[in-house]
Amino acid sequence: MSDKSDRSDTSDANTAGGGKTMDTLRLRQDVGLIFIVTEELKARLEEEYRAGVEDVQRQIDQFDFRARHALAELQRADLNRAMAARQQIDTEKRRLEAIKHELQERAGEVEKMTIGSEYPRGTIEGTTEIGVGDNLYEKLAGYQLIVKDGLVVEIRKLELNPEDVILPQPQVLRPGE
């Protein structure tokens, strides 16, 4: 049984393989979060990104301070180790600067958002129950929650066509593998 499912209802009937049959199965699935852009959402996102930029800048400043002191100590002790450490320090500083730049770009995108447009904000985990006789494609399609200023204003059921489903390929195990 997949780790993506939980038993919810079983019957006592045995199958030919000696296992039990199940009438229903509860599956975990991602539910998309879509926010309607409002002035309130824009203000919250701008604050979120501004705070993120400030936090990363604090990390950069603290990292610089500690790195300078550690590098000075290393240079007195071992010049080769100091040069290697300097490369690691530069790599980490570039990584932090890239995060800061990404947050600044996202903040700029928030300013350009159109009031009333939709803004995908990630996913949350939900569950769905599937039973014998259910249409698999409908059950796997999933949902989106449409949110405006914190209130769910719509629940959209997504559509999934059979050709969109990627079925796992059977694996052939050979003795000794």
Per-residue model confidence (pLDDT) at position 171? 73
In sequence order, the 6+-apart residues with CB closer than 8 A to the CB of 98 are none
DSSP assignment string, 102-149: HHHHHHHHHHHPPTT-EEEEEEEEEEEEEETT--HHHHHH-EEEEEET
- Cα→Cα distances 152→44, 129, 148, Å: 17, 22, 6
> Over its length of 177 residues, how does the chain's per-residue pLDDT go in tens digits?
444 444 444 444 445 556 688 889 998 889 999 999 999 999 999 999 999 999 999 999 999 999 988 888 888 888 888 888 889 999 999 999 999 999 999 999 999 999 999 999 999 999 989 999 998 888 888 899 999 999 999 999 988 776 766 666 777 777 766
Domain segments of the chain: what residues? Answer: 5-37+115-164, 39-112
Q: How far apart are CA 57 and CA 75, in angstroms?
A: 26
Question: Would you report the helix, strand and coil content of the chain in percent, each value rounded to 5?
Answer: 45, 30, 25
Q: Token pair of 7, please?
A: 């038993």
What's this model's pTM, rounded to 2 decimal places? 0.64
Phi/psi for 132 (5° steps) reads: -60, 130
Q: Is 153 helix (H, G, I), strand (E, B) or coil?
A: strand
